[in-house]
C-alpha cells in the first residue's frame, strides 16, 4: 500500500510539471506571435506616415521632406530604421501648422506611430524576457520563432492637437412672474 502512494505522488508531480511546461511553451509562443503582430502593425503605421508625409510635401513643395518620405516608402528592411529616422528629422524641421486635411492626417499618423512603437517595444521586451528564462533556454522552446528585435527610431516632436473650446452651457431661462 505505501508503494501506491509513491506512484500517486510521482504521477501528481509529473502532471504538475507537464502542465507548467505546457503553460510556459504556450506563453513563449503567445509573446512571440504578439511581438510579430506588433511589428507588422508598426510597419503599417510607418508606411501610412511616410505616405502622408509625401502628400504634405507635394502640397507644400518641401523637396527634402518628399525625398525622405519616398526613401522611407522604398527602403529595404535593413535600411528601414535609417530611412524612418531621416523622415522623422525632416518632419521635425518642418513646422506642421496647417489645418488642411493632409497635415492633420500626417499628425494623426505620427501619433499612431509613436503608440505603435511603444506597444512593439513592450512586446519585444516581453518576448526577449521569455526567451531568457532558464527552462526555455534549456528545453529550447523558442527555437522555432525568429528572435524579435527592437525598432529604434527617433521620437517625433509633434504639435499639440487642435482643440475646439467647448461652448458654454446656455443659461436657464428666467421665469417671468405674472402680475
> Is residue 146 a part of any domain in this protein?
no
- Give residue 158's pLDDT: 63
- Which residue range(s) make up the domain with 104? 23-139
pLDDT score of 167: 59
Give a yes or no: residue 167 inside a domain.
no
Determine contact, residues 80/26, Cβ cutoff 8 Å: no
Assess if residue 172 is contained within a domain.
no
Give the pLDDT means over successive 10-residue stretches in the chain (179 positions): 83 92 91 95 95 91 90 91 92 79 89 94 95 90 90 74 56 72
In a domain, 91, yes or no: yes
Q: Take residue 146 and report the three cell numbers written for it.
A: 525568429
* Per-residue model confidence (pLDDT) at position 2: 74
Instruction: Provide the domain count of the chain.
Output: 1
pTM over 0.85: no
What's the longest Cα–Cα distance across the chain? 104
Which cell numbers hold the place of 47? 508606411
| Contact indicator for 156, 92 with CB cutoff of 8 Å | yes
Q: Is residue 96 part of a domain?
A: yes
Is residue 114 included in any domain, yes or no? Answer: yes
Comparing CA positions, the residue from 176, 170, 125 lying closest to residue 150 is: 125
Q: Is 124 contained in some domain? A: yes
| pLDDT attached to residue 116 | 94
Query: Quick one: how far is CA 148 from the chain centroid?
Result: 13
pLDDT for residue 125: 96
H-type helices in the chain, by residue range? Answer: 2-60, 63-74, 80-93, 101-132, 134-139
Helices 2-60, 63-74: inter-axial angle, 10-degree rounding = 150
Cβ atoms 156, 91 nearer than 8 A: yes
Please name the residues in contact with 32: beta carbons below 8 A apart, sequence gap of 6 or more: 127, 130, 142, 145, 146, 148
Q: What is the DSSP letter of 151?
A: -
- Name residues whose C-beta falls within 8 Å of residue 112's C-beta, 6 or more positions apart in sequence: 45, 48, 49
3-class secondary-structure state, position 78: helix
Q: Is residue 41 part of a domain?
A: yes
Amino acid at each position: 500500500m505505501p508503494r501506491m502512494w509513491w506512484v500517486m505522488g510521482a504521477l501528481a508531480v509529473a502532471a504538475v510539471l507537464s502542465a507548467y511546461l505546457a503553460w510556459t511553451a504556450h506563453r513563449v509562443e503567445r509573446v512571440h506571435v504578439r511581438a510579430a503582430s506588433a511589428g507588422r502593425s508598426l510597419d503599417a503605421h510607418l508606411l501610412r506616415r511616410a505616405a502622408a508625409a509625401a502628400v504634405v510635401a507635394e502640397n507644400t513643395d518641401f523637396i527634402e521632406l518628399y525625398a525622405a518620405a519616398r526613401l522611407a516608402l522604398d527602403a529595404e528592411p535593413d535600411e528601414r530604421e535609417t530611412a524612418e529616422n531621416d523622415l522623422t528629422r525632416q518632419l521635425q524641421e518642418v513646422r506642421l501648422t496647417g489645418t488642411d486635411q493632409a497635415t492633420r492626417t500626417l499628425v494623426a499618423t505620427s501619433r499612431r506611430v509613436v503608440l505603435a512603437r511603444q506597444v512593439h517595444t513592450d512586446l519585444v521586451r516581453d518576448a526577449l524576457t521569455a526567451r531568457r528564462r532558464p527552462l526555455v533556454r534549456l528545453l529550447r522552446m523558442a527555437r522555432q520563432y525568429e528572435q524579435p528585435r527592437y525598432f529604434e527610431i527617433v521620437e517625433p516632436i509633434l504639435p499639440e492637437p487642435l482643440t475646439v473650446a467647448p461652448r458654454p452651457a446656455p443659461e436657464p431661462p428666467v421665469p417671468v412672474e405674472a402680475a
